Amino acid sequence: MMERVVDPLVLQRRRETNVSFVVGFAIMVALFAVLPFIAYPVFLMQALCFALFACAFNLLIGYVGLVSFGHALYFGWASYLTAFAVKSWHFHPELAILIGTATAAVLGVVAGGVAIRRQGIYFAMITLALAQMMYFFALRTPFTGGEDGIQAVPRGRLFGYFDLSNEMTMYVFVLVVVLAAFLLIYRIINSPFGEVLKAIRENEQRTISLGYNTDRYKLVVFVLSATLAGLAGSLKALVFQLASLTDVHWTMSGDVLLMTLLGGLGTVFGPVAGAFAVIAMQNYLAPFGQWVLVIQGVIFVVCVLVFRRGIIGELAAFLRVQL
């Protein structure tokens, strides 16, 4: 790649972006340090896993403009593999997470390779269809436990030392992994690679004419997104000690879309805020049964019609910073 010409104005804007990111990140970390003393740790860990899931999803929809409707595939299958590795093979948690994440990466290569052959609306339909195919596979194949899923997964000892059955230890572990992945995503979208991704989002034809092999960029970012979604799924399997069909069902793909949209497409912090909002809503509204579905639908409609920037997007516009 050529030496990049750095415009002083661009440099200044980048510095401002950096400042707002550092401030935002500091606030987020502070919140996560205090929250476990106020809220129920399992709820927080659940929200953290989904925050990572949504961030991974946002990498695709927010920065490349690719709408995947089948991200449950990577989340759910990583969750299955991690649960199975821990329970049946008695692997250490870190190795089991690695296996789950690697599975998601492989699935991402295959599904991404097929899906990027079509653009736009077709891309969404293809990812949805592929995820549904693997849902049926999960339903049929014996190792996933069918309707029961894989239950009572032991959390084990991290590196053979930290006892993860302690909620606080588990919380710190999940937090560290999620924050590391979050920083990785921030690094990706602000790298030269990330600039090309945004160029594809704005105008793919033009990016091709500039000499970029956009299909290759799309495939790489698809695999990255799938892998990180898998990491989220693997963590979730250990947090809940459960992997089930819910995780691979299309409603899960809808949930992660809702989180990202509500938080703010293409914002760094949006998916985290969206995940917390949606998980909290699902927990508090659980007694109302099917109304959750209706309310989620209403949020989708409202977001699309009047609230397209999402929570963090609106906040950023109000503060005139990039978040």
**Is 291 an interacting residue with respect to another protein (CB under 8 A)?**
yes
**Is 304 an interacting residue with respect to another protein (CB under 8 A)?**
yes
**DSSP H helical ranges for 147-306:** 167-189, 192-202, 204-209, 214-240, 250-263, 270-285, 291-306
> What number of CA atoms fall less than 13 Å from residue 181's CA on the CB side?
29
**Is 292 an interacting residue with respect to another protein (CB under 8 A)?**
yes
**Is 117 an interacting residue with respect to another protein (CB under 8 A)?**
yes
**Is 146 an interacting residue with respect to another protein (CB under 8 A)?**
no
Nearer to another protein, 40 or 291 (CB): 291
Nearer to another protein, 296 or 322 (CB): 296
**Is 278 an interacting residue with respect to another protein (CB under 8 A)?**
no
Nearer to another protein, 27 or 293 (CB): 293
**Is 308 an interacting residue with respect to another protein (CB under 8 A)?**
yes
Distance CA 275, CA 235 (A): 15
The minimum distance between CB 175 and another protein, in angstroms, equals 30
Residue 163, φ and ψ in degrees, nearest 5: -80, 110
Side chain identity, residue 318: F
User: What is the sign, positive or negative, of the torsion defined by CA atoms of 254, 259, 261, 262?
Assistant: positive
State the CB neighbour count (10 A cutoff) for residue 27. 11
- In contact, 227 and 188? CB cutoff 8 Å: no
Q: Which residue in the set 132, 207, 244, 322 belongs to the binding site for another protein (CB under 8 A)?
A: 132
Side chain identity, residue 276: F
The minimum distance between CB 240 and another protein, in angstroms, equals 23
**Is 257 an interacting residue with respect to another protein (CB under 8 A)?**
yes
Stretch that binds another protein, among 11-19, 226-234, 271-279, 285-293 (CB under 8 A): 285-293
Q: What is the CA radius of gyration of the chain?
A: 19
Nearer to another protein, 156 or 270 (CB): 270
**Is 35 an interacting residue with respect to another protein (CB under 8 A)?**
no
Tokens representing 192 are 């030269």
Residue 34 makes CB contacts below 8 A (sequence gap 6+) with none
Side chain identity, residue 287: P
The minimum distance between CB 134 and another protein, in angstroms, equals 9
Q: Which residue in the set 128, 170, 177, 256 belongs to the binding site for another protein (CB under 8 A)?
A: 128
Stretch that binds another protein, among 85-93, 144-152, 217-225, 303-311 (CB under 8 A): 303-311
Burial 129-167, CB ≥16 within 10 A → b, else e: ebbbebbeebeeeeebbeeebbeebebbebeeebebeeb
Nearer to another protein, 87 or 249 (CB): 249
Side chain identity, residue 50: F
Q: Which residue in the set 49, 55, 61, 232 belongs to the binding site for another protein (CB under 8 A)?
A: 61
**Is 96 an interacting residue with respect to another protein (CB under 8 A)?**
no
Distance CA 18, CA 189 (A): 13
- Residues in binding contact with another protein, number by CB under 8 A: 43
Distance CA 34, CA 19 (A): 23
- In contact, 97 and 220? CB cutoff 8 Å: no
**Is 67 an interacting residue with respect to another protein (CB under 8 A)?**
yes
> What does the binding site for another protein look like in residue numbers (CB under 8 A)?
61, 65, 67, 69, 114, 117-122, 124-126, 128-130, 132-133, 136-137, 139-140, 250, 254, 257, 261, 289-294, 296-301, 303-305, 308
